[in-house]
Amino acid sequence: MSLWKRILREKRALVIPLALGLVANIVAYALVVRPLGIKSAGAADRAAAAAQALRAAASDEAAARALMAGKERADQELATFYEKVLPADLPTARQLTFATLPALAKTANVKFVERRTEADQITHASKFGRLKVHAVFQGEYESLRQFIYQLEGAPEFVIIDAVTLSQPDSAKPLQLLLDLSTYYRLESNGR
C-alpha cells in the first residue's frame, strides 16, 4: 500500500473535511468572488467613465454659459451701436459728415476743397441706408496724413472706402481724394 493511501485511510476524518472545504472554496470563488470582482472592476470602470462624462458635461456647460454671456454682451454692444453710434437718419448722417470733415481738415491744416454725397438703401429689405461721400482736400503730405489719422480716430461713424493722393501740377499742393461711407437707420425708432 502506498503512502498516500495509508495517509488518507488513517487521517480520513481530517482529510475529508479539508477536501470538502477546498472544493467549497473553489466553488465559492468561481460562483461568488470572481463574478463580484469582475462586477466591482466594471463598476469602477463605469464610475471612472461617469466621472469623465461629468467633467465633460461641466466643461460643455461652462462653454455654453460663456457663449450665452458673449451673445448677451454682443447684443448689448450691437444695441448701443445702433442707438448711440449709428446716425438715426439721413439728415443726421449728412450733418455728421458735413460738420466733421471741415473741422478735422482745419485742425490738421488741410484745405477742404469740395464734397459730393449720394444716399442709397443697401438692399430693399434692409433697415439701413448708406451715405457715400466723395471729398477733395489739399495740403502738405504730413498734414494730409494727420488728417486721415484724425478721421480714422474720430468718434463719428465714418468708413474710408478709398484714398487717392495725387499732385496734378508740381507747383500746386498735394490733392487727397477720399471716398467715405457712413450708414444710418432708415427707421429711426427701431433696430
The pTM of this model reads: 0.57
Compute the distance between CA of residue 87 and CA of residue 26 in angstroms, rounded to an integer.
88
> Which is more confident, 133 or 84?
133
8-state DSSP, 151: H
Residue 183's pLDDT band (cuts 50, 70, 90): confident
What percent of the chain stands above pLDDT 70? 95
Give the residue-averaged pLDDT of 112-137: 84
Compute the distance between CA of residue 116 and CA of residue 58 in angstroms, rounded to an integer.
58
Give the residue-averaged pLDDT of 4-12: 80
Say if CB 58 and CB 157 are below 8 A apart.
no
3-state secondary structure of 126: coil
- pLDDT exceeds 90 at position 33: no
Predicted confidence at residue 44, as pLDDT, reads 78
Give the list of residues 6+ apart from residue 88 with CB closer than 8 angstroms, or none: 184, 185, 188
Predicted confidence at residue 124, as pLDDT, reads 63
Give all strands of the β-sheet with 111-121 in edge-to-edge order.
Answer: 111-121, 128-139, 174-185, 159-166
Grid cell 453710434 is found at: 85
Q: Are β-strands 174-185 and 128-139 bridged in parallel, bridged antiparallel, or unpaired?
A: antiparallel
Compute the distance between CA of residue 144 and CA of residue 141 in angstroms, rounded to an integer.
5
Grid cell 472545504 is found at: 21
